[in-house]
Structure 1
């Protein structure tokens, strides 16, 4: 392995948009649009970028909540600079930033493409299978997984447990807590237990009960 160039500078600021897009495509990652790249530059938790003469030659970033979940992404090095240890420097610096700022017990993940697997294993990453498998939303499924719209109105268009379709669900106005609970039941988030009609004297008790069920099912 060649040693890094003495002119290489490890920084923790994002690359320029042009450098980001160029590094992704030339290193073998999928190309992204300028709009996608702009979101990556501003929406990441931290960056580690190797620069030479002001130009990014290797990079990586972390997406995370700052508390317990962190995902390493966009590990990329220019082809002519691969095999010189730049990716290892970037990965080590990203992990160091997580360890310095995150509370104990941080969960750090990444998707290991074939070229980088030996590097990730040497840094301490292990496969999660068979306990868990990485999954992504297929493009063909997008737009078909949203719950039906919930509209507060004056009548029922359907009832809990009924077959769902693409029409609007209308819930009586007075009981908003029950409407929220129904939305979760209709979309499959909770099993439906039929409720007996309540009298006006027990309306407040029914509202508190529905609110309690909804809150306990939304951790």
Structure 2
């Protein structure tokens, strides 16, 4: 497995989302989201096939968020997601100032994976809220 720092192609990203049972996205919007990311990591096999991806967004100094960690279903039980997480966290560790925050929002099924990378529930000290647009 190889990890590179760059955007996946629109077609392969759409295929990865479909394989992971995630809804389709407008390719132009997806490309814009990748361009506006602070950091993108892609895991690829020896034939350069996309196995997974993830990105970091934020202000690049104080606030960071790991988003869109997507891994093919046949790779979820191996090291692909963990290698991607290490790359994303390493980027933040190199970029952030002391006392910066790194957050991730997770569904219940993935929470255990994030705790293996040092994430903790914010509750009861903090509450998160969202607004769907």
Alignment TM-score > 0.5, same fold? yes
> Matches of 1:131 and 1:95 in 2, distance apart?
23
Structure-2 change in CA distance of 1:126 and 1:28 (3 Å): farther
Answering whether residue 43 of structure 2 is matched by residue 50 of structure 1, we say yes
TM-score (norm 1): 0.56
Match of 1:109 in 2: 103
Using a 3 Å threshold, how does the CA distance of structure 1 residues 137 and 101 change in structure 2: closer, same or farther?
Answer: same
Given the alignment, which residue of 82, 92, 95 partners 2:86? 92
Match of 2:2 in 1: 9
Structure 2 portions without partners, runs of 5+: none
> Residues 21 and 37 of structure 1 are in contact (CA less than 8 Å); yes or no, is this contact kept in structure 2?
no
**Is the contact made by 1:59 and 1:76 (CA closer than 8 Å) also made in structure 2?**
yes
Q: Does 1:119 align with 2:77?
A: no
Unaligned residue ranges in structure 1 (runs of 5+): 1-7, 140-219
Give the deviation of 1:25 after TM superposition.
Answer: 2.9
Normalising by structure 2, we get a TM-score of: 0.90
Q: Distance in 2 between matches of 1:130 and 1:78?
A: 33
Cα drift, residue 65 of structure 1: 0.9
When Rg is computed on C-alpha atoms for both structures, the one with the higher figure is 1
Q: Which residue number in structure 2 is paired with residue 33 of structure 1?
A: 26
Alpha-carbon distance between aligned partners in 2 of 1:127 and 1:22, rounded to the nearest angstrom: 32
- Once the two structures are TM-superposed, the CA of residue 69 in structure 1 deviates from its matched residue by 0.4
Considering fraction of residues, name the structure with more strand: 2
- Aligned residues of 1:17 and 1:41 also touching (Cα < 8 A): no
